[in-house]
């Protein structure tokens, strides 16, 4: 059990550019979640997959955001036309049951 | 919708003193409750969870929490603080398939 991994750990991009983050869940976990955490706040839910199906999306997930989980394994989160307000820590979590989520180290995005 | 309120954004205690971090929740259904810890520039680590079994839950690193339905509370305690406990602590409640987090409490340990 190597835990949840995320890549990259840090990303600096210019406003208007597209970015993509990757999450590799714990191997036997069929549920995968994305959260966003801004400075001084708790994580906020973005989206949830069970296997390859995206079952829920938050209203926080604007049209510029898209997430995929092909083949029910790793997941990617893409942000198009980044804005300064997108600067945050993006956290991925996975679980086997619908609770007890295990989190990765996060990807810190800075939009300049 | 479920929600979580953590009373006190910053708590400071002396090394060896009792740690008490407060969490109150609102939930329309019997909740599952969690405490997570986050060290700087890292993800969240699960400390403990309540899933409708024993109301006193023991977790890692000497932490425990008590579920009190009448008070809608799930406060986190540790009898004796250690310098390594300095971190951000988050209380969370399940809402359908996701977690709803409080705003966090930053714990500082004074030597």
Q: How far is CA A74 from CA A42, A96, B94, B103, in A?
A: 24, 15, 23, 29
Give the containing element (helix H, strand E) for A24.
Answer: strand A19-24
- Identify which of B26, B84, B28, B92 has the alpha carbon closest to the alpha carbon of residue B60: B84
- Identify which of B67, B99, B75 has the alpha carbon closest to the alpha carbon of residue B19: B75
pLDDT in tens, A53-85: 999 999 888 899 999 999 889 999 999 999 999
Alpha-carbon dihedral B103, B100, A36, A74, rounded to 10 degrees? 150
Could you give the CA distance from residue B76 to residue B63 in angstroms, rounded to a whole number? 7
The tokens for B43 are 């993800």
Q: Quick one: closest CA in A to B89, which residue?
A: A42
DSSP classification of residue A17: -
Inter-chain CB proximity B97 and A48 less than 8 Å? yes
Is the pLDDT at A99 greater than 80, yes or no? Answer: no
Q: What is the mean pLDDT of chain B?
A: 93
pLDDT in tens, B6-35: 999 999 999 999 999 999 999 777 789 999
- Identify which of A32, A23, A11, A5 has the alpha carbon closest to the alpha carbon of residue A86: A11
Inter-chain CB proximity A31 and B51 less than 8 Å? no
3-state helix, strand, coil in chain A (%, to 5): 5, 50, 45
Q: Are B111 and B20 in contact (CB under 8 A)?
A: no
Given this model, what pLDDT does residue B90 score? 97
**Phi, psi (degrees; rounded to nearest 5) at A72:** 65, 20
pLDDT in tens, B40-94: 878 899 999 998 778 899 999 999 999 998 899 999 999 999 999 999 999 999 8
Measure in Å the smallest separation between the Cα of B6 and chain A Cα atoms: 10
Q: Are A36 and A88 in contact (CB under 8 A)?
A: yes
Inter-chain CB proximity B103 and A40 less than 8 Å? yes
Q: Which residues of A touch B44 (CB under 8 A)?
A: 43, 91, 93, 103
Pick A42's closest partner by Cβ from B51, B94, B104: B104
Confidence band (pLDDT; 50, 70, 90) for A1?
low
Q: Work out the end-to-end distance of chain A between its first and last CA atoms, rounded to an integer number of angstroms.
A: 36
């Amino acid at each position: 059990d190597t835990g949840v991994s995320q890549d990259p750990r840090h990303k600096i991009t210019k406003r208007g550019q597209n970015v993509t983050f990757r999450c590799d869940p714990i191997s036997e976990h069929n549920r995968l979640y994305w959260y966003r955490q801004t400075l001084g706040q708790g994580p906020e839910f973005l989206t949830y997959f069970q296997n390859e199906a995206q079952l829920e999306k938050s209203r926080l997930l604007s049209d510029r955001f898209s997430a995929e989980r092909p083949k029910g394994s790793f997941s990617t989160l893409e942000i198009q036309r980044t804005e300064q307000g997108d600067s945050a820590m993006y956290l991925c979590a996975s679980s086997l049951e619908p609770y007890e989520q295990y989190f990765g180290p996060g990807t810190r995005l800075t939009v300049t | 919708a479920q929600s979580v309120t953590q009373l006190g954004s910053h708590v400071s205690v002396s090394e060896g003193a009792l740690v008490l971090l407060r969490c109150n929740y609102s939930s329309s259904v019997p909740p599952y409750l969690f405490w997570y810890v986050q060290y700087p520039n890292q993800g969240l680590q699960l400390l403990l969870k309540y899933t409708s079994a024993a109301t006193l839950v023991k977790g890692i690193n000497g932490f425990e929490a008590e579920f009190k339905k009448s008070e809608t509370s799930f406060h986190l305690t540790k009898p004796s603080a250690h310098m390594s406990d300095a971190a951000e602590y988050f209380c969370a409640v399940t809402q359908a398939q996701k977690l709803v987090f409080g705003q966090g409490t930053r714990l500082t340990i004074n030597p």
